[in-house]
Amino acid sequence: MKPQDIVSGGKATVTSLWIFGYGSLVWKPDFKYRRSQVGFIRGFKRRFWHGDNFHRGNDDLPGRVVTLIEDDDATTWGVAFEVTGSQVEESLKYLNVREGVRGGYLTKAVEFFPDGGDDDKEAMTAPVQALVYIATADAPLFLGPASPELIGAQIAVCRGKTGHNLEYLLRLADFMRQSCPRVDDPHLFAIEAAALAVVPYLLAVQ
């Protein structure tokens, strides 16, 4: 059974599920889970191309958050969370509101590959099927590509009910440096540099 088929009438029909996070889920899952594992998926690149008018922005100034864009040559690193038993239904109910209703994301099944460099003896080594939330180009809040400078400036000034858009960016960049130190992410780090370059100007006008 595929991960995207596990919910029927709001009831989970499996007892174990992996959920892959590549944005705010890597540091703020906000649901109970049995274990987590750093790793990657193939065939997608992470991009700050999706708008956010709830968590990290508003209707007047939508923030920018990440989504996944199909790219056969790309990999995206993040964290997979295993939910079991009652956690399956609870996590899906929560995420369907957080990612689906408020974020405009759809679900998709992907193959998750655990980080082979993990020294944890209990860490899994074989790939697993996982559920991931993706915002596509036809989503109402999809903003599309822009230069790192424009995206960084937009992120620097936006804030939503969850907090500053800049916090979202910096936490994601920090996750990559701390948990995936061997992985380069030019898109993420270029936007981080652009956003931080704007901050002194914002402070000067306050």
In 10 A of CB 184, how many CB atoms? Answer: 9
Q: Is the pLDDT of residue 8 over 90?
A: no
Residue 104, Ramachandran bin (φ over 0: left; ψ between -120 and 50: alpha; else beta): left
Which residues are the active-site residues?
99
**Look-up of token digits 């180009």:** 137
pLDDT in tens, 140-151: 999 999 999 999
CA–CA dist 141, 143 (Å, integer): 6
pLDDT in tens, 187-204: 999 999 999 999 988 888
Give yes or no for a contact between 44 and 27, defined as CB atoms under 8 angstroms apart: no
Stated pTM of the model: 0.89
User: C-alpha 32: how far from its chain's center?
Assistant: 17
pLDDT in tens, 169-192: 999 999 999 999 999 999 999 999
The token pair that represents 201 in the structure block: 């100007």
Of 76, 55, 74, nearest in space to 141 by CA:
55
pLDDT in tens, 95-130: 999 998 888 899 999 999 999 754 555 566 799 999
